[in-house]
């Protein structure tokens, strides 16, 4: 498996054009983009990083993200590293303005919210220490009445990334700081970001976001060297974690497995079957997410690879896959297409229920959620979606 494949598996995403805020039209980038395409590999990515940084300096965050969207649509190499480029833009944006709310809005939802994750990472890199009041206050602006949880999730998930990098990838120390959050949902989201950052750093330590962070003025706090993976144990580090961290850990564990077994999805499925019974479905959810990386989020190919799992675990695979299909673009088209493919199977209702949960995260109002769920058309599918979205079935 190539280094590029390892990176894609680790973060559960692959090439795509994302949904950078379309209302911002970047000024012409054709000449510079063409110039960058004359290079290959790291030289090309360095050229693009410089181009995006220049756009940010001259025209602001929204224009830089829209430029990235345009470049990703025309160059597979940019698309392949789009999340990391976006992450790097977020880091640089925070260095220019510490207004997190405004920068989050300018970043947009595209590329699995990589820009927003970079903003939160940069916030923590700017600190000399972290206190409980600071941790609690950071994401409070995204908890206003009527707000969706989508942007809030990006903040607290990004917190996990940022804390892990702050402590030089001492994962247990970062998790302990996530514990300072009083809300259980916030803690779980922070845990997830911490485990994801640990996997990314272990499998692709030279991705653009890490390189940009290394160039920042703040040096990460020294931490205990933590072994992120163990080739002898495909369930590590989950196998050594406290119970409260297991759900978040197993949500990322197949990224570790697939790195160790060179992309063998069938072998990863067998490893998930050896996970503790309570978290076994979560492991298969992780597998579903990673499968979408292999298929470039193609619904039919994703369904086919989920069938690699033993039949009792396929619903969990569908659950993870459909959530990943929504997460990449914050839209539901591919997710509905996927659920329609598996609707007649035992896992069909699970797929629509998971899709409903994603809709509830994206949309705050019940009428908007119902409009989305009605796209499922079949009564049983609509009901499962409504249940996941928290829409009363009597509506």
SS (H, E, C) 83-121: HHHHHHHHHHHHHHCCCHHHHHHHHCCHHHHHHHHHHHH
Q: What is the largest CA-CA distance in the chain?
A: 59
Mean pLDDT on 5-10: 42
> Is 168 strand, coil or helix?
coil
Which carries the bigger pLDDT value, residue 364 or residue 245?
245
For residue 382, how far is the Cα from the chain centroid?
Answer: 27
pLDDT at 4 over 60: no
Q: Which pLDDT value is given to residue 112?
A: 77
What does the alpha-carbon distance between residue 70 and residue 356 come to, in Å, rounded to a whole number? Answer: 30
CA 60, 63, 64, 65 torsion-angle sign: positive
- Token pair, residue 65, equals 């993200």
Contacts 24+ apart (CB under 8 A), 22-26: 22/66, 24/62, 24/63, 24/65, 24/66, 25/66, 26/55, 26/59, 26/63, 26/64, 26/66, 26/67, 26/70
What does the alpha-carbon distance between residue 19 and residue 178 come to, in Å, rounded to a whole number? Answer: 29
- Average of per-residue pLDDT values in the chain: 87
What does the alpha-carbon distance between residue 104 and residue 120 come to, in Å, rounded to a whole number? Answer: 10
CA 312, 322, 328, 368 torsion-angle sign: negative
pLDDT at 384 over 50: yes
**Chain segment 136-194, per-residue pLDDT in tens:** 999 999 998 877 788 999 999 999 999 998 898 999 999 999 999 999 999 999 999 99
At 71, is the pLDDT very low, low, confident or very high (cuts 50, 70, 90)?
Answer: very high
Q: Which pLDDT value is given to residue 215?
A: 54
**Chain segment 365-375, per-residue pLDDT in tens:** 999 999 999 99
How many other CB atoms are found less than 10 A from the CB of residue 4? 14
pLDDT at 208 over 90: no
pLDDT at 339 over 60: yes
What does the alpha-carbon distance between residue 203 and residue 260 come to, in Å, rounded to a whole number? Answer: 9
What does the alpha-carbon distance between residue 357 and residue 359 come to, in Å, rounded to a whole number? Answer: 5
Q: Which pLDDT value is given to residue 41?
A: 84
- Token pair, residue 278, equals 């309570």
Residues 253/238, Cβ–Cβ less than 8 Å: yes
Mean pLDDT on 201-218: 60
**Chain segment 255-297, per-residue pLDDT in tens:** 999 999 999 999 999 999 999 999 999 999 999 999 998 998 9
What does the alpha-carbon distance between residue 90 and residue 94 come to, in Å, rounded to a whole number? Answer: 6
**H helices then E strands: how many in the chain?**
23, 0
CA 44, 70, 161, 255 torsion-angle sign: negative
Mean pLDDT on 217-237: 79
At 201, is the pLDDT very low, low, confident or very high (cuts 50, 70, 90)?
Answer: confident
Q: Which pLDDT value is given to residue 209?
A: 56
Q: Which pLDDT value is given to residue 30?
A: 52
Mean pLDDT on 57-68: 95
Residues 220/125, Cβ–Cβ less than 8 Å: yes
**Chain segment 92-149, per-residue pLDDT in tens:** 999 999 999 999 999 998 887 889 989 998 998 888 889 999 999 999 999 988 777 8
Nearest CA among 345, 346, 353 for reference residue 373? 353
What does the alpha-carbon distance between residue 298 and residue 119 come to, in Å, rounded to a whole number? Answer: 30
- The 10 Å CB-count burial string (b at 16+, else e) for 169-181 is bbbbbbbebbebb
What does the alpha-carbon distance between residue 330 and residue 372 come to, in Å, rounded to a whole number? Answer: 13
Q: Which pLDDT value is given to residue 239?
A: 98
Q: Which pLDDT value is given to residue 211?
A: 55
What does the alpha-carbon distance between residue 165 and residue 14 come to, in Å, rounded to a whole number? Answer: 23
Which DSSP state fits 104?
H
What does the alpha-carbon distance between residue 194 and residue 171 come to, in Å, rounded to a whole number? Answer: 7
Q: Which pLDDT value is given to residue 305?
A: 98
Q: Which pLDDT value is given to residue 220?
A: 53
- Indicate the length of the chain as a whole number: 395
pTM of the model: 0.82
Element (H, E) at 257: helix 253-260
Q: Which pLDDT value is given to residue 214?
A: 55
């Amino acid at each position: 498996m190539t280094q590029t494949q390892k990176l894609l598996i680790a973060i559960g995403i692959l090439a795509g054009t994302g949904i950078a805020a379309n209302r911002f039209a970047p000024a012409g980038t054709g000449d510079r983009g063409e110039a960058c395409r004359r290079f290959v590999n790291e030289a090309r990515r360095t050229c693009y990083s410089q181009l995006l940084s220049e756009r940010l300096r001259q025209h602001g965050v929204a224009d830089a993200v829209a430029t990235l969207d345009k470049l990703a649509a025309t160059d597979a190499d940019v698309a392949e590293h789009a999340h990391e480029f976006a992450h790097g833009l977020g880091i640089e944006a925070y260095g220019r303005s510490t207004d997190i709310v405004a920068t989050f809005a300018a970043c947009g939802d595209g590329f699995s919210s990589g820009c927003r994750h970079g903003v939160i990472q940069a916030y923590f890199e700017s600190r000399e220490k972290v206190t409980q009041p600071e941790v609690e206050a950071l994401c409070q602006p995204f908890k206003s009445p009527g707000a969706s949880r989508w942007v809030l999730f990006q903040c607290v998930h990004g917190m996990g990334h940022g804390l892990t990098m702050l402590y030089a990838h001492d994962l247990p120390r970062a998790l302990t700081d996530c514990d300072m959050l009083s809300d259980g949902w916030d803690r779980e989201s922070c845990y997830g970001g911490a485990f994801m950052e640990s996997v990314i750093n272990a499998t692709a330590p030279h991705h653009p976001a890490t390189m940009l962070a290394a160039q920042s003025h703040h040096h990460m706090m020294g931490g205990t060297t933590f072994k992120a993976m163990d080739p002898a144990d495909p369930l590590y580090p989950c196998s050594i974690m406290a119970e409260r961290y297991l759900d978040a850990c197993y949500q990322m564990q197949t990224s570790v497995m697939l790195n160790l077994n060179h992309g063998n999805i069938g072998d990863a499925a067998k490893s998930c079957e050896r996970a503790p019974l309570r978290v076994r479905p979560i492991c298969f959810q992780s597998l579903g997410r990673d499968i979408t990386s292999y298929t470039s989020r193609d619904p039919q190919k994703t369904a086919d690879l989920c069938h690699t799992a033993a039949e009792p675990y396929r619903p969990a695979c569908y659950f993870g896959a459909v959530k990943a299909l929504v997460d990449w673009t914050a839209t539901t088209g591919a997710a509905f297409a996927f659920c329609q493919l598996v609707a007649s199977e035992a896992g069909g209702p699970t797929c629509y229920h998971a899709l409903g949960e994603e809709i509830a995260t994206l949309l705050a109002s019940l009428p908007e959620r119902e409009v989305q769920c009605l796209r499922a058309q079949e009564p049983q599918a609509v009901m499962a979606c409504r249940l996941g979205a928290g829409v009363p079935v009597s509506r």
